[in-house]
Amino acid sequence: MVSRLLSDTQDVRTLLVIPCLNEAATIEPLLRKLTAQRGTTDMLIVVADGGSQDGTPEIVGSLTSEIPDLLLLANPKRIQSAAINLAVDRFGEDRDYLIRIDAHGDYPDDYCRTLIQDAIEMNADSVVVGMETVGFGLFQKATAIAQNSKLGNGGSKHRAGGGGEWVDHGHHALMRIEAFRSVGGYDESFSHNEDAELDFRLRAAGSRIWMTGKTYMTYYPRASASALFKQYLGYGRGRAKNLLKHRSVPKLRQAIPLAVAPVVVGAFLALLYWWAAVPLAIWAAACLGYGFWMAVGQKNPYGPLASLSAMIMHFAWSAGFWLELAGIRPRRAA
């Protein structure tokens, strides 16, 4: 619980942190939008840059004289979990709430105010939000369709229009700084899935996580197959690390895709035994069938390509999980 009574958004002292890396195209309009919706709230905005080479720090630096309470913070560890921890350690001492913003996303004009209002009204330790995924190019549009569908998200509440309920996990938006600090913040050994890992510790400590139905964020997925594969490979590794750390059993919607990588690898046995390819054929047919159903039943022309994006996500997530569980880790750059 915070040490003083909060009854209105104007009474709240907020730390808003934006971890970023090479976000020159989006950082200025994002900062201007967040500044406009800040209103009279006492909100310190910190951009934690992980070593951008595209001019992002220079853009932020040029805005610090124009936008009040805007700071640029170097994040030598580069990853998002370290960025948040560092910002809270440096600037969170006299702040009530932490708001985490994705530099590669978009937000409604009342986003921050709604989060704070819900946190106060519900006496929540964390407020999480749903995600609306939007794409622009052909592959990105198809991936957005996949991530918004049960084929791609397995019915995850923060991906499936949920809201207005207490949950175990969701897309991180706001947390009480006191609750965040009480469990030690993010585990910086996690480059992916650090939010779910922190939510596990928050719940174990008795904190409550509220998924608001009053606001959301817009997320832009990876625009290429290779980037999508790398992202979901990391997600799978993160989920395995969570299991190893907390002995947390994956939910059914997560357990089913775990079979994909073994099924793909097992299909190579079809050179000796034809029936070894049957599980792979069933999985591929199910995904492609779902895609064509979206094309016909939902009149969505991106359905078939969305099924391919979903297959990339399934395989990468499963491969990452099993590689991490087996202790096979990527080679670090020298």
Residue closest to 96 by CA, chosen among 88, 107, 108: 88
Residue closest to 316 by CA, chosen among 241, 219, 227: 227
Q: Which residues partner with 43 through β-bridges? A: 14
Question: Of the CATH numbers 3.30.450.40, 3.90.550.10, 3.60.10.10, 3.40.50.970, which one belongs to the domain with range 9-223?
Answer: 3.90.550.10
pTM: 0.85
Q: Give how far Cα 214 sits from Cα of 72, 117, 118, 173, 217, Å.
A: 30, 10, 9, 13, 11
Tell me which DSSP letter residue 332 carries: P
pLDDT in tens, 104-130: 888 999 999 999 999 999 999 999 998
pLDDT in tens, 262-318: 999 998 888 888 888 999 999 999 999 999 999 998 899 999 999 999 999 999 999
Domain with CATH 3.90.550.10 in the chain: 9-223
d(CA 258, CA 169) in angstroms, rounded, equals 20
d(CA 85, CA 78) in angstroms, rounded, equals 12
pLDDT above 90: percentage of residues in the chain:
68
CB 21 within 8 A of CB 74: no
